[in-house]
Amino acid sequence: MKAVQITELTGPRTALRINDVPEPAPEHPTTPGEGVIVEVRAAGVSFPEVLQTRGEYQIKPEVPFTPGSEVGGIVRSAPENANVEAGDRVAAFCMQGGWAEVAVAPAFLTFALPDELDFAQGAALILNYHTAFFSLVTRGRLEQDETVLVHGAAGGVGTATLQIAKGLGAKTIAVVSTDEKERVARDAGADDVVRSDGPWKDQARELSGGGVDMVIDPVGGDRFTDSLRSLREGGRVVVVGFTGGSIPEVRVNRLLLANTEVIGAGWGNFVIPKRNLNQEIGDAIDRLIAAGFVSPVIGARFSFEQAADALELLDSRGATGKVVLEVS
């Protein structure tokens, strides 16, 4: 089968080759001896793959390897205890190996794809929407009518967070850097949009009537202290990622003085050993799809041959919503 592989750690433009590789066996490292084989129609592209082309991500397989953590496609075979069977349309989180014509995923991270969503949206569903739900609800303890400020709001995690927060009855304030991203954030349901290069902290305090209840932060970097300052008493900053480049440090006296919290949200490590929680999050997202709140935003579609362009779009801060590779 054809697969897009990282063959050298030289960055997005030069690291990739399309190679002929063997199809995967029906077993996954998290479920030895068992796995769902998926004929891939679309594969998600995410920030970790950009980092992997430079050897800068925490998971560093030996080259050559096939990246790609999630796919939308059709089940070719599934173990008996799976919730899906041959012929089903699915969203599947394979962790690695998704940029290929055939991928293998654990049954507990393979979900039937609702009719409302196409394969590209299936490839956009698990990483971002499960992370968004996990960050808002499991870790952030979101309550109805709370106000959530979302950094990087036009990105993959950002648009997912806006849609889920809205579906759960929260108000949202999106932080974005351009007019185009403001449009994307509004389309994803943001109640208010503020600019990352403007007085967003003061605007957020004003719009929320004295401070937001939660900040969802996939960006990190210099804006972290202002995120803390934008909170009301009892407010929480949920740490999701560091696309801004630097990992912020907190002077914890700020937390004491303002009675606020900083909460880490690492989706994979938390949920992978907890099959029931995975299912509960999947079910909750399905309800939000059926209710019309969740519909993944596909910002750009590329072929396997254009995979370097897809990575460069993310790397240059130009991506909106989810970027996908489609199998032609």
Ligand X SMILES: NC(=O)c1ccc[n+]([C@@H]2O[C@H](COP(=O)([O-])OP(=O)(O)OC[C@H]3O[C@@H](n4cnc5c(N)ncnc54)[C@H](OP(=O)(O)O)[C@@H]3O)[C@@H](O)[C@H]2O)c1
Residue 138 interacts with ligand X (CB under 6 A): yes or no:
no
DSSP 3-state of 256: helix
**Of 66-74, 142-150, 234-242, 303-311, which segment contacts ligand X by CB under 6 A?**
234-242
**Token match 């075979």: residue?**
77
The CA distance from 67 to 325, in Å, is: 12
Residue 303 interacts with ligand X (CB under 6 A): yes or no:
no
CB of 85 to ligand X, least distance (A): 29
The CA distance from 226 to 20, in Å, is: 49
Residue 156 interacts with ligand X (CB under 6 A): yes or no:
yes
DSSP 131-197: HHHIIIIIIT---TT-EEEETTTTSHHHHHHHHHHHHTT-EEEEEESSHHHHHHHHHTT-SEEEETT
Pick out residues in 252-281 that bind ligand X (CB under 6 A). 265-268
Torsion sign over Cα 299, 129, 127, 120: negative
Residue 248 interacts with ligand X (CB under 6 A): yes or no:
no
Residue 181 interacts with ligand X (CB under 6 A): yes or no:
yes
The CA distance from 319 to 298, in Å, is: 10
CB of 112 to ligand X, least distance (A): 22
Residue 297 interacts with ligand X (CB under 6 A): yes or no:
no
- Give 20: exposed, middle or buried? Use CB within 10 Å, 0-12, 13-18, 19+: exposed
Residue 189 interacts with ligand X (CB under 6 A): yes or no:
no
The CA distance from 165 to 167, in Å, is: 5
Residue 52 interacts with ligand X (CB under 6 A): yes or no:
no
Residue 140 interacts with ligand X (CB under 6 A): yes or no:
no
CB of 320 to ligand X, least distance (A): 7
Alpha helix (H) ranges present in the chain? 47-52, 119-122, 131-133, 156-167, 179-187, 200-207, 224-229, 253-258, 267-271, 275-290, 307-315
Residue 131 interacts with ligand X (CB under 6 A): yes or no:
yes
CB of 227 to ligand X, least distance (A): 13
Residue 242 interacts with ligand X (CB under 6 A): yes or no:
yes
Residue 216 interacts with ligand X (CB under 6 A): yes or no:
no
The CA distance from 40 to 223, in Å, is: 38
CB of 26 to ligand X, least distance (A): 26
CB of 265 to ligand X, least distance (A): 5
- Taking the least distance from each CB to ligand X, the nearer of 5 and 135 is 135
Give which of 122, 128, 103, 132 is closest to 23, Cα–Cα: 103
Query: Per-residue x/- mask for ligand X, residues 22 to 51, rule CB under 6 A?
Result: ------------------------xxx---
- Taking the least distance from each CB to ligand X, the nearer of 36 and 154 is 154
Query: Per-residue x/- mask for ligand X, residues 83 to 112, rule CB under 6 A?
Result: ------------------------------
Record the tokens describing residue 4, joined without a space.
């897009």
Residue 235 interacts with ligand X (CB under 6 A): yes or no:
no
The residues of the shown chain that bind ligand X, judged by CB under 6 A, are: 46-48, 127, 131, 152, 154-158, 176-177, 181, 196, 218-219, 240-245, 265-268, 314, 317, 319
